[in-house]
């Protein structure tokens, strides 16, 4: 660890942000609590005596500069990322410090790669995007499954969630994405993102025990599609989500995650299975754990530690799979946060 242990967390009082703050402290870092709402920051700071609060607005670049002053890096946990990513990345580039986020919005993910890769390389810093359950985990699993393959015919990602208790941020981000898509859905085919109309097809997927065979919704495209296609040569990326989780997400009265222990984690569980196919050969990587939001914290903080230690030799915008040794990264999260199976 470096002598400077300060890490700015933007959106620190949000559901995921709170897990990130706790994980940083657990690993010996000193979070700087930042976000748009001063009162929520004060409430959070009461739980962490001695931590500094720095309110900042994405509409006021000077306030973001003050929030990042003296920080070793910044982790952006504030959605919707269509609104927050660009201003906070701009501030990180001005400060010449690494930027990490937990964005899982497909369009915002594509925007970040398109707008900031060249600028980050010019400044000489690292922007690590989508270091979350959606975006980061699937990318690491796909990269691990591919192994020494330089290309594949297709990659399938199956999300086995026993339920989905969406946060307020998830619901708002979904609204923003639906507005940008004008009612269309996202699919990845023939090497490109496409927007299509009509209902997503129903199917079935056999997950590892104990989940087993489950009804799923196919073409349920998430941020993993953007991150995987960024650096792996594959023309088809297929995504599947357990039908029960989709029903939870789209229910009119979707319930927020409910804490089930002292850590704040919910009882919700997940299995993510990634299958890479080339001709008649298949390679598989599976990860299982608990609480998709809580899991994001060790994922992004592990990435932070690897970035500031100099593990990422190049500069620019990166995904988890292209920045790190994917298999080693996953192993570092096991067994405390993940159970891993690699074929």
Tokens of 51: 């931590």
β-strand pairing of 126-128 with 316-318:
parallel
Distance CA 233, CA 255 (A): 38
Task: Give the pLDDT confidence of 139-159 residue by residue, as tens digits.
Answer: 999 999 999 999 999 999 999
Distance CA 151, CA 236 (A): 11
| pLDDT at residue number 251 | 86
Helix, strand or coil for residue 253?
coil
| pLDDT reading at 162 higher than 70 | yes
Distances from the Cα of 175 to the Cαs of 169, 172, 181, 259, in angstroms? 10, 5, 10, 25
Q: For the chain, which domains are there?
A: 6-132+296-327 (3.40.50.720), 133-292+331-342 (3.30.360.10)
pLDDT of residue 209: 87
Tell me what the mean pLDDT of segment 238-264 comes to.
Answer: 90
What tokens appear for 304 in the block?
């932070």
For the cut 70, the answer to whether the pLDDT of residue 297 exceeds it is yes
Residue 45 has pLDDT above 80, yes or no: yes
In this predicted model, what pLDDT tens digit does every residue of 14-43 receive, in sequence order?
999 999 999 999 999 999 999 999 999 999
Question: Is the previous residue joined to 80 through a cis bond, with omega within 30 degrees of 0?
Answer: yes
DSSP reduced 3-state for 292: helix
Q: Decide: 285 and 340 in contact? Cβ < 8 Å.
A: yes
Mean pLDDT over 173-196 rounds to: 93
Residue 161 has pLDDT above 70, yes or no: yes
Q: What's the pLDDT tens digit per position in 263-295? A: 999 999 999 999 999 999 999 999 999 999 999
Q: At residue 254, does pLDDT exceed 80?
A: no
C-alpha angle 91-300-275 in degrees, rounded to nearest 5: 125
Q: Which two tokens stand for residue 242?
A: 């357990």
What are the strands of the beta sheet with 73-76, ordered from one edge? 53-55, 30-35, 6-10, 73-76, 99-101, 126-128, 316-318
Query: Average pLDDT, whole number, for the chain?
Result: 96
What mean pLDDT is predicted for residues 247-252?
87
244 pLDDT more than 80: yes
Helix axes 15-26, 292-308, angle to 10 degrees: 50
pLDDT tens digit sequence for 69-118: 999 999 999 999 999 999 999 999 999 999 999 999 999 999 999 999 99
Model pLDDT, residue 4: 76
Amino acid 2: pLDDT: 67
How many of the other CB atoms lie within 10 Å of CB of 71? 23
Contact 251, 242 (CB under 8 A): no
Q: Which of 68-82, 171-185, 314-328 shows the lowest per-residue confidence on average (mean pLDDT)?
A: 171-185
How remote is the C-alpha of 31 from its chain's centroid?
19
Query: What pLDDT score was predicted for residue 1?
Result: 55
The pLDDT of residue 163 is 94
Give the whole-angstrom CA distance, residue 273 versus residue 205.
10
pLDDT band at 135 (very low <50, low <70, confident <90, very high): very high
Q: Could you give the C-alpha distances from 22 to 26, 160, 296, 301, in angstroms and in order?
A: 6, 27, 12, 10
Question: If pLDDT is split at 50, 70 and 90, which confidence band does 183 have?
Answer: confident
What mean pLDDT is predicted for residues 327-336? Answer: 96
Per the model's pLDDT, the better-predicted residue between 252 and 134 turns out to be 134
CA dist 241 and 250 (Å) reads 13
Residues 6+ apart with CB under 8 A from 341: 208, 284, 285, 286, 287
């Amino acid at each position: 660890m470096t002598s400077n242990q300060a890490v700015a967390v933007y959106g620190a009082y949000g559901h995921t942000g709170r897990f990130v703050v706790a994980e940083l402290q657990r690993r010996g870092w000193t979070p700087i609590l930042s976000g748009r709402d001063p009162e929520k920051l004060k409430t959070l700071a009461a739980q962490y005596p001695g931590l500094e609060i720095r309110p900042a607005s994405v509409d006021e670049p000077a306030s973001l500069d003050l929030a990042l002053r003296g920080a070793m890096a910044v982790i952006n946990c504030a959605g919707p990322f269509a609104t927050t990513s660009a201003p906070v990345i701009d501030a990180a580039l001005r400060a010449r410090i690494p930027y990490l986020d937990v964005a899982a919005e497909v369009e915002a993910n594509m925007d970040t790669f398109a707008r900031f890769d060249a600028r980050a390389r010019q400044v000489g810093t690292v922007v690590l995007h989508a270091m979350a359950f959606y975006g980061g985990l699937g990318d690491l699993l796909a990269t691990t499954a591919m192994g020494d393959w330089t290309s594949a015919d297709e990659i399938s990602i199956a999300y086995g969630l026993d339920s989905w208790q969406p946060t307020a941020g998830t619901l708002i981000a979904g609204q923003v994405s639906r507005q940008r898509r004008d009612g269309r859905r996202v699919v990845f085919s023939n090497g490109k993102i496409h927007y299509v109309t009509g209902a997503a097809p129903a199917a079935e997927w056999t997950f590892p025990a104990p989940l087993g065979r489950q009804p799923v919704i196919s073409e349920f495209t998430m941020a993993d599609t953007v991150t995987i296609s960024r650096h792996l040569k594959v023309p088809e990326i297929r995504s599947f989500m357990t039908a029960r989780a989709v029903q939870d997400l789209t229910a009119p009265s979707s319930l927020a995650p409910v804490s089930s222990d002292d850590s704040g984690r919910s009882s919700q569980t997940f299995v993510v299975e990634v299958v890479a196919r080339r001709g008649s050969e298949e390679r598989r990587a599976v990860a299982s754990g608990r609480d998709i939001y809580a899991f994001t914290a060790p994922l992004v903080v592990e990435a932070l530690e690897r970035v500031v230690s100099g593990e990422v030799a190049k500069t620019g915008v990166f995904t988890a799979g292209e920045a790190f040794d994917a298999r080693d990264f996953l192993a570092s999260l096991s067994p405390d946060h993940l159970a891993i199976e690699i074929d």
